[in-house]
Amino acid sequence: MAERRFPRPEIIDRLRLIRTESVGPVAFEHLLDLYGSAGAALAALPDLARKGGRKSLRLPSKAEAEREIAAVEKAGAQLIAKGESDYPPLLAAIEAAPPLITAKGHLHLGRQPAVAMVGARNASAAGQRLAREIAGDLGRAGLVVVSGLARGIDGVAHLAALETGTIAVVAGGIDVVYPPEHAALQARIGEAGLVIAEMPPGTQPQARHFPRRNRLISGLALGVVVVEAALKSGSLITARFALEQGREVMAVPGSPLDPRARGANDLIRQGARLVESGAEVVEALRPMIGPPLTEPSGGDFAKPPMRRPDDAEIDRHRARVLDLLSPVPVPVDELLRQAELTPPVLFTILLELELAGRLLRHAGGRVSLI
């Protein structure tokens, strides 16, 4: 596959766009669809925000974007934009994929068939042994092991697959170590495997960052294996994301006397595939394991913009869309049907409201008023 890279000015524009307040991955994609390039979208943002009811919108400067790129490079990593050849294809396929990620290590691992392994931070000795054996078997079968570099099951899985290929997705910046005791492990994965971050360098992980990280863990993999998880474990959030993304969800059963097994056992009751070995995981994923995904080479990087509605058309329908919206999340497709609007008109009105801080996006393509 021919290497595809955006020129540096385009990377700077895309970085400025995604770092703009109120611009998330969905808004980012809609803006590119409407304006054709990140530069054109940046020029349109202040007016869109004003029409949505916001007095002013600050855009990150080129100097700020340059400083972030310099910090990434200082960490021995690089920014990868969705649409470039090094962007993991499975991750690119999920809803609202990150427009830019930071990666350090062997980038080809992101294009290989992968399995995510997650579980309890306070894992039992038996759970750690199982995780070690399953991750080792998966690596020997040619599968990359993805996890979140947390204590317990995550760390064990990474170590077991270090020689065959492992990807660590971190909740903070690429240059931030969490938990601190995994500093050596994160460094080893950066050399022998691949470390991926969505947040800017220097970002200290906070509670709200971990669900975003979990979404990337499942998005990078064909399926997720849960080894020991309490009923309120973050591992179950990863399993839920996997279901939403159409991935296989598997769980290792445990003793009903151990609270650390209740989450995995509950997943099995709800229909997750019961697995007890790496061979069973490979068998479950066999129909999906094939050559690495590729995209046609050649062609222009910039997508042709969709037809942008004029101001008068937007003004005629803005009140109708606001009437249909409420604090209750509603699918965008349902708004299109009830408002009887074309996608460009509705997307533009939703962008205005989102940039003004009045609209919240939810999983499954749903939106609500704040």
State the pLDDT at residue 299: 40
State the pLDDT at residue 200: 97
pLDDT in tens, 284-342: 999 888 654 444 444 444 455 567 788 888 999 999 999 999 999 999 999 999 999 99
Average pLDDT of the segment spanning 252-272: 94
pLDDT of 2 higher than 80: no
The whole-chain average pLDDT of the chain stands at 92
Average pLDDT of the segment spanning 192-211: 96
C-alpha to C-alpha distance for 207 and 157, rounded to whole angstroms: 23
Average pLDDT of the segment spanning 268-283: 96
State the pLDDT at residue 232: 87
Q: How confident is the model at residue 77 (pLDDT cuts 50, 70, 90)?
A: very high
Least confident of 43-47, 218-222, 330-334, 360-364: 360-364
Give percent of the chain with pLDDT exceeding 90.
86
pLDDT of 215 higher than 90: yes
State the pLDDT at residue 164: 97
Closest CA to 243 of 79, 84, 94: 94
State the pLDDT at residue 308: 77
DSSP state of 208: T
C-alpha to C-alpha distance for 165 and 159, rounded to whole angstroms: 10
DSSP-derived secondary structure for 217-270? HHHTSSEEEEES--TT-HHHHHHHHHHHTT-EEEEE---TT-GGGHHHHHHHHT
pLDDT in tens, 24-73: 999 999 999 999 999 999 999 999 999 999 988 999 999 999 999 999 99
In Å, what is the CA distance from 21 to each residue of 17, 27, 291, 356? 9, 11, 39, 9
pLDDT in tens, 95-148: 999 999 999 999 999 999 999 999 999 999 999 999 999 999 999 999 999 999
State the pLDDT at residue 135: 97
pLDDT of 79 higher than 70: yes
- From its phi and psi, is residue 100 left (phi > 0), alpha (psi between -120 and 50) or beta? beta
Average pLDDT of the segment spanning 183-209: 96
pLDDT in tens, 147-156: 999 999 999 9
DSSP state of 337: H
C-alpha to C-alpha distance for 28 and 238, rounded to whole angstroms: 24
